[in-house]
Amino acid sequence: MIVVKTKQELQQALKPFHLPTHSIGFVPTMGALHEGHVSLMEAANANHSIVVVSIFVNPLQFGPNEDFETYPRQLEADQKVAREAGCDILFCPSVEDIYPDGFPQIVHVQQGANVMCGKSRPGHFDGVATVVLKLFSLIRPEAAYFGKKDAQQLAIIKQLVNEFFMPIKVVGCKTVREEDGLARSSRNVHLTKAERQYAPLLYKALQRAKASNNRNVPELIELVRVSLAQIPSGSIDYIEAYEYPSLKQVEVATGRIILALAYQFSHARLIDHVQIDFSNRGEA
């Protein structure tokens, strides 16, 4: 594995591989790598001759009162994880390298960004789409690997690639969880001991609602709200449900929906979701 820190070094390293004899798989991350990231790298490794991983904490996707400054950064440990997971080129650019002139142009996501995390984090998905467009332009991979954990992000990136006619396959990979069901996240390190004990309730609440087989969306949301009331600290940021992947509003679900939540603990905002496909279910 080689580590490159600038665009120039990256282009130099990629030169021999932009040939039909090679296939580049790309995994964009913000670092603090865990098993979730590893699963994406392994999927890329299984399908491509070259795996490029980026580690970049993108300032444009953080709001003014969010955790950009405190987001965990651990480059040395990350290098080891990436190497062992089969990464060939690790790209760790600086903010100046990605945004040399500040933000003279950004992508504005019109559809799918006004709900869920887009509603509580205004501009977040514009930041995500902008950095992904930049990274895709630099790396020109055949495929890019994203976690289904960030389901809204995955839907928006698929839309981005479609809209701008980018010849890149976007692959969604299954959410990796701790044994108790908590979705792996770089932000989990910011949970207090007590919060860590309660955090698995997020997924349990979603699973309980899913198991109810209720097609009525407001009632599904209420079921999650009732379960989350068991958590003694923190607050619900949102509990929402939409058709997926269109993220269109739905009152009574008939097809595939996403039931999603964000929960604010003292120093970590966690997200999770379940998908429910009512088209395959009998009458509830």
For the annotated catalytic residues, the residue numbers are 37
Q: Does residue 188 belong to the site contacting ligand AMP (CB under 6 A)?
A: no
Distance CA 171, CA 180 (A): 26
**Nearest alpha-carbon partner for 135 in 11, 1, 3:** 11
Measured from the CB atom, the residue of 86 and 147 that comes closer to ligand AMP is: 147
Measured from the CB atom, the residue of 79 and 214 that comes closer to ligand AMP is: 79
Q: Does residue 190 belong to the site contacting ligand AMP (CB under 6 A)?
A: no
Distance CA 45, CA 221 (A): 38
Tell the smallest beta-carbon distance from residue 40 to ligand AMP (Å).
6
Measured from the CB atom, the residue of 131 and 239 that comes closer to ligand AMP is: 131
Rg of the chain, C-alpha, whole Å: 19
Distance CA 94, CA 115 (A): 31
Vertex 36: Cα angle to 107 and 43 (nearest 5): 85
Q: Which of 52, 173, 205, 206 binds ligand AMP (CB under 6 A)?
A: 173
**Under a CB-based contact definition with an 8 Å cutoff, are residues 61 and 68 in contact?**
no
Residue 68 is given by DSSP the state T
- Site string (31-50) toward ligand AMP, x via CB under 6 A: -----xx-xx----------
Q: Which of 54, 130, 175, 188 binds ligand AMP (CB under 6 A)?
A: 175
Q: Which of 45, 54, 185, 227 binds ligand AMP (CB under 6 A)?
A: 185
Structure tokens at 268: 């970590």
Looking at the DSSP bridge assignments, the partners of residue 48 are none
Q: Does residue 149 belong to the site contacting ligand AMP (CB under 6 A)?
A: yes
Q: Which of 93, 127, 147, 234 binds ligand AMP (CB under 6 A)?
A: 147
Is the bond into 245 cis (omega within 30 degrees of 0)? Answer: yes
Residue 129 is given by DSSP the state H
Measured from the CB atom, the residue of 153 and 214 that comes closer to ligand AMP is: 153
Contact residues toward ligand AMP (CB under 6 A) are 29-30, 36-37, 39-40, 146-147, 149-150, 173, 175-176, 183-186
